[in-house]
Structure formats: C-alpha cells, structure tokens
Structure 1
Amino acid sequence: MSAPVPHGPGSGEASPWVTRWAHLVRPGGSVLDVACGGGRHARWFARRGWRVTAVDVDAAAVAALPSPIEGIVADLEDGAWPFEGRRFDAVVVTNYLWRPLMPTLLGALAESGVLIHETFAAGHESVGRPRSPAFLLAPGELIELTAGLRVVAYEDGFLEAPERFVQRIVAVREAAEAPAPARHHLRRPEPQPAG
C-alpha cells in the first residue's frame, strides 16, 4: 500500500507549484482554473479572496463547486471557448494538456496576467498515466508554447510521492507600456512592519 499523497488531484490540496507562485496574481483579481476537476485550485484561490472561474467538462464536478466560484461546464477540446472577450489576471492549468488550446489560454491573460501551468512530461510513461505522447510535454515544450510571455520560473524533471515527470512554468503577459521593469518576486514578499 502506498503512502497518502500530500497533494495532487485526489487529495484536495493545491499544488505547491501553484501556491508558491500565487503571490504574482493581482490581489482580488480574476483567476481561471482550466480543467478544474474537483476544483482544488479554484477553492484555494477563492478562500484567499480572488474572484474565481472554474471550467471542466465534468458537470457533476462543476456543480459541486462552492459559491462564490463561477463554475462553467464546457468541452474545451471539441466545443467553443466559453470566455470569448474575457481576460483573467491568472490562468491556472494543472495535469491537463491540449496543445491546440494554448494560444487561447495565452490570449485570455489580462495585461500583467500570470500563467501558472504544471502537467506531465516525457518520461512519465515509465511511472504511470498518461502514457500517450499526446498528453506528455517534450523537453522544453512549455517554454516554446508560451513564447511572447515573460518566463519567471520553469522546471522540467522528476518528482516523488507520487512519482511523476512534470514540466511547469510561471509566465507573465507584461504590460506593453510599463514605466519601469516589472518586479516579479521569486519569493512571496515578506510583510513590512507598520510605521
């Protein structure tokens, strides 16, 4: 019997990658959780005051999302994009890959919006599912798929508990007319003492 997984799709706990980089998302801003499943990331962001929209093909999973999360049932692979004209301060994607959707996801980012993406990579077929190359990123592929954004963090490697090969990225759509270079903190800024 394997040990319980501290985080992951079945745990209800948000991915440490997502929580590590959430400080880059505008406080109180809009977050889109793509292929949300049970909504672990939607719930995490909503509990912390972000306005969250979550989308998944599974109607039962979407129906179980608590208020104030806006739940949308949509087939992102064979249906129309349900957010035409909307922009989000963050787009969060974990354990999901549909390459034809990537340009649409990048287009859904508002100015200064953050893409937080983590999914399976080549090599994962040796330890579990998915095994099809259609659902596994090639080395460096997330960098290529996010061309035009400013990459703040990127990892491509192996994680344990559970064993998995992943690629993950945090990338920002920088403001076109920024007066000074944006400061994308690599750690959550420490609160400053008052006065």
Structure 2
Amino acid sequence: MNLPVSPWVARFAPLATAGEALDLACGSGRHTRYLAARGLQVTALDRNAEFLAALAGPKVATLQHDLEAEGAVWPFEAGRFSLIVVTNYLHRPLFAQLAASLRPDGILVYETFAQGNQIYGKPSNPNFLLAPGELLGLAREGGLQVLAYEDGHVDRPHPAQVQRLCAAGPAFAKTEAKLDHNVVANEP
C-alpha cells in the first residue's frame, strides 16, 4: 500500500533551510521523494535493500543499514542534517544520535505510534509505542526546542494513536519570517 505523505511532515518539513535531509527508516520512500521534490539532497536509510533500490537518483543517496543489529554503529557525523524525518519507526537508543546529527538550526520531524494503538492493531508491542509525553522528554534531553507536539488519535491513513513532534536545534530562530503563528503549538 502506497501511503500519502504525512500531513505532519508536509506541514513542518518546509521549515528546514536548504541542505541535506535524512529520511530514517524510509521504507518505500514516500517522504524521500517528497523532500527531494522540494529540492533537498536526501539520504534515505533503511535496512531493506528492495525499498532503497527504487529510490536512488540525483537528489537521493541511499544507505542500507540495520540500526538495530547487534553492534550497529550510527553512520552519521554530528551537525550534518538540516532536516531529519522519522515516521512509523521507534528505536529509543537512536534519539541522542538523531539530535546530535541535526544542524544547530535544523529541524526534526518525528511521528510514530503511541500507547493506546494496540486497540487498532499493530504495532501493539509496548516496545514500539511511545509513553505519554515521551517524545517531549526525548527532545528536551537532546537539547532541542519543541515547536509543535501532538499526542492523540488520527483516522488517516488508518485509525491509530500517535505522537508527533517538530523540534529544532538550539540555533533555530523562531521568527515571523520562518514560522507563522498557526504552526507553533504550545507545549502542555
């Protein structure tokens, strides 16, 4: 099933300045294609080589890497990405590396399943479901500014319980030129 671009990603990805983006656990590449079409150079990372084969192109570099394998090493240097997108994927040990790999003025857009999703089906394993406020805590631990956060139910593309976060590096300026009043949500 080809999913559409996440409305959360479409809403916040434009905050990133020109530069390199990372689509972590990119799957079939819906966000990789979207970001490349917006003019960003994109690194698409996934453990599945079949997914990656269809994505390589002038604006897209692919990297097959299993971040959860025993002894796996984070493959990116600090401060590399102007935008990091993560959807429908959770591996908690990576969050510090995600924050570190973000440029000081970069944007992190994260959206994945939360506790309560088990009533809708998979994922239902607590290891893959965020606890209430967990993304907020991870952003703060990473030294990021929270620009927007949601924890609740969605109906599309299918019913689910999700948490969504848009956070920025410490040098991101929350100015009228970059961010309008309708984008920033107050933290709970």
TM-score (norm 2): 0.87
Distance (Å, rounded) in 2 between the aligned partners of 1:101 and 1:127: 26
| Matched ranges for 1:50-65 at <5 A | 50-65=40-55
Give yes or no for contact 1:31–1:53 (8 Å, CA) kept in 2. yes
1:174 is displaced (CA, Å) by: 2.1
Q: Which blocks of at least 5 consecutive residues in structure 1 are unaligned?
A: 1-9, 189-195
Q: Which amino acid aligns with 2:64?
A: V
| Matched ranges for 1:3-14 at <5 A | 10-14=1-5
Q: Which blocks of at least 5 consecutive residues in structure 2 are unaligned?
A: 184-188
Distance (Å, rounded) in 2 between the aligned partners of 1:63 and 1:86: 27
Distance (Å, rounded) in 2 between the aligned partners of 1:58 and 1:73: 7
1:135-188 CA-partner distances (Å, limit 9, x unpaired): 00000000001112110000000011310000000000022xx8xx53251458
Structure-2 change in CA distance of 1:168 and 1:77 (3 Å): same
Q: Does residue 31 of the first structure (1) align with residue 37 of the second (2)?
A: no
- % identical aligned pairs: 47
| Matched ranges for 1:1-150 at <5 A | 10-26=1-17, 28-68=18-58, 69-78=60-69, 79-85=72-78, 87-147=80-140, 148-150=143-145
- Partner of 1:61, secondary structure, is helix
1:82-115 CA-partner distances (Å, limit 9, x unpaired): 2235610011000000000110111110110100
1:10-39 CA-partner distances (Å, limit 9, x unpaired): 32421000001112100x321000000011
1:128 is displaced (CA, Å) by: 1.2
Taking only aligned residues, the RMSD between alpha carbons, in angstroms, comes to: 1.6
Q: Which amino acid aligns with 1:171?
A: A
Report the count of equivalent residues.
174
Q: Report what 2:170 is aligned to.
A: 174
